[in-house]
Each structure stands twice: as structure tokens, then as C-alpha cells.
Structure 1
Amino acid sequence: MLLIAVLVVAGAILAYWRITSPNSKVTSGGSYADISPAEYDAILANRDPFVVDVHIPEEEHLSETDTFIPYNEIANRLNELPKEKDAEIILYCRSGSMSQEAAGVLVKAGYTNVKNLQGGIQAYRESHQAVLLTPPLKNLGTVIYGDITKTDFTLKNNTASTLNVTSLSTSCSCTKAEMEKTRLGPYESATVGVSFDPAIHKDDSDLGELERTIYINTDNPNFPKLTASITATVVKR
């Protein structure tokens, strides 16, 4: 009997801790957790949550977003969410207020693993101020000498200022890079098209294991130079 009593008390303490911990918000029917941008990144790095943008009017979404449901419609659109009530669902809006309301709706509907991105997309962007060329490396695999292989990179302007690309070049004439758009608004992205032609020199200088680099210079003083690379194994037929 004593053991049972101890277990009951321990369970009650655990339940109390869960709903009264600093990042837990109690609402009708249960609780949801507020998470920081850093916690959001950590979750995405290790798990595959269902991410929902609930902001109205609809604006630009975080890249990992699974769906868009206005916060004031989510109660009537639960069928668009995972069927499992314990599915990990992360909600966000522009500043966090709409997603808080939506989180309360989901908890009331019986969802037990709901998270709210604290501060919304504004806080996320403020914590991710950067200009990025992604991915940093692409492996083209085996490339036949004489064939031209194409791939894409993405230039992301995750800042509040307009970004101008001042130059775009590569480490070898066998690799060409081009952009249709070289002026990016705040939080805008653009595609960098890359083509690789190992036979352009008409000799054997571009055979075997190769790595070539793409260089982008910008007018952002904090991110003036960006690089990314391609690798390939070039063989003759």
C-alpha cells in the first residue's frame, strides 16, 4: 500500500510540474508548451513535427511549414491535422498571439503534444539574421565526360534589409553560375543555377574526383562573401 501511495504522489507531482513548468501554458482541457526559436530548431533537427502557420492574413511561411490554417478556422479544420492526438504539432503566427489562441483550441480538442513558437515568425527571424548560400556542398555523383550537369543552390536573405549581389563567379570555367534575380528584399530567397561541363577544356584536366566552388559577393557588410561547392567524379564513357 505504501508503494502505491508513493507512486500516486510521484505521478501527481510529475503532472503538476508539467503544467506549471515555465514554458507550459495551462488552458481548458490541458496545456501546451511555449518554445523559443532555438528550441524550435532543435526539435526540427531531431524530429519531424507537424508545423502549422495560423497567421491571418496569410504571409510568408517558415520553410518547414506543413500547412496553413487561419487561427480562427482551426476548430473547424481539425481534419487537416494529424489524426493521432499525441502527434507533435507546432503552431506559429507573426508575433505569437494568434498561435497561442490556436494552441488552446487544439488542447481543448484533445491534442496532448502542442507547442507554440514564442514570439512567432518575428522572433524567429530576429534570431536568424543571416545571408546564406545553401546547401554548402552538393555531390553530383558520377558525371560522364562530355555531359553537362545542372543543379541549383539557394541564396537566402534572412535579414531586414535589401540585399544586392555584386558579383557571381566560380573557381573554374568548367562551372558556370547564374541568377535571374540579384536584388533580394528582406527575407527573400533566389535560385542560383549552376552547370558543370568537365569537357570544356577539351583535355583530361577535369577527370577524376573534382571539387569546384561558387563565389557570391554582396553589399551586406556583415555577409560580404559567400561560398558553396559542388563535387563530382568525372569519367569517360
Structure 2
Amino acid sequence: MNDITSTELKERQANGTAPVIIDVRETWENEESRIEGSQNIPLGTLPQKLDELEELKEQEVVVHCKGGGRSASAKAYLSQQGFQKVRNLIGGIQAYQQG
């Protein structure tokens, strides 16, 4: 799937159609700032969390980090694991907070 802009994500949140949002930053980064409704699963722990995420394989999932690099890796990994609707938040939380 195509990646998602912060504008589109905010619109989806506002109208109640927000996808599942996974923050792949480290826990301390998530504690400093977070996107409302997101769940924090640091990139390095994704392989251990796959069983918990199994139910999301058919759902739209947005991954984000600070600027988009780690979440691009998370998108590639989840796609390889059979997740069909993974999107990366373009520009990460930095773009989200600026928008």
C-alpha cells in the first residue's frame, strides 16, 4: 500500500476511521511524545510481538517513528510476514506534530 501523510492520518482520526497506529520508536521516545491512539512496539521487539499482532494481518496498519527511517524498516518486515495493508507515516511524528 502507499504510505500515508500526516494530513490524511489526522483527517482519518478526526472522522473516526483511523487505522491501527504502531509507534516503532523506543519506549523513552514514546513517553516524550506520542500520537493519540497509537501503541508502542519498538522496532527491535517486533519479531517477538508478531503473535500479538496476528489479528492485524488483514487490517490497515500505519507504522511511524521519528522521521520515517525505522518505520520504513518496520513496514518492510511486517509486509514480509504477511501483513497486507501496512503504510508508513511519511516524515514520522515530526511531520505529524508540525502539520
- Scaled by the length of structure 2, the TM-score of the pair is 0.84
Out of 37, 42, 62, the residue aligned to residue 70 of structure 1 is 42
Higher Rg of the two aligned structures: 1
Does 2:22 correspond to 1:49? no
Given the alignment of the two structures, is residue 40 of structure 1 paired with residue 13 of structure 2, yes or no? no
- Distance (Å, rounded) in 1 between the aligned partners of 2:64 and 2:92: 5
* Counterpart position of 2:84: 112
Kindly state the Cα deviation for residue 64 of structure 1 after the two structures are TM-superposed: 2.0
After the TM superposition, list the runs of 4 or more consecutive aligned residues in structure 1 that deviate by more than 3 angstroms.
Answer: none
Shift of 1:123: 0.6
How big is the shift at 1:48?
3.8
Residue correspondence of structure 1 range 10-29 to structure 2 within 5 A: none
String of CA shifts for 1:137-184, please: whole Å, max 9, x gaps. Answer: xxxxxxxxxxxxxxxxxxxxxxxxxxxxxxxxxxxxxxxxxxxxxxxx
Decide which structure has greater helix share: 2
Distance between the aligned counterparts of 2:28 and 2:84, measured in 1? 26
Instruction: State, as a whole percentage, how many aligned pairs show the same letter.
Output: 31
Does the aligned pair in 2 maintain the 1:72–1:102 contact within 8 Å?
Answer: no
TM superposition score normalised by structure 1:
0.38
Higher strand content, 1 or 2 = 1
Q: Is the 8 A contact 1:35 1:116 kept in 2?
A: yes
Q: Is the 8 A contact 2:9 2:18 kept in 1?
A: no
Look up the SS of the partner of 1:52 in the other structure: strand
Q: CA deviation at 1:69?
A: 0.7
Letter in 1 for 2:45: E
Question: Which structure would you say has the larger RCO, counting Cα contacts within 8 Å and 6 or more residues apart?
Answer: 2
Q: Deviations over 1:198-236 (max 9, x none)?
A: xxxxxxxxxxxxxxxxxxxxxxxxxxxxxxxxxxxxxxx
In the alignment, is the contact (CA less than 8 A) between 1:75 and 1:106 conserved in 2? no
Q: CA RMSD in A?
A: 1.6
CA gap of 1:84–1:124, structure 2 versus 1, over 3 A, is closer
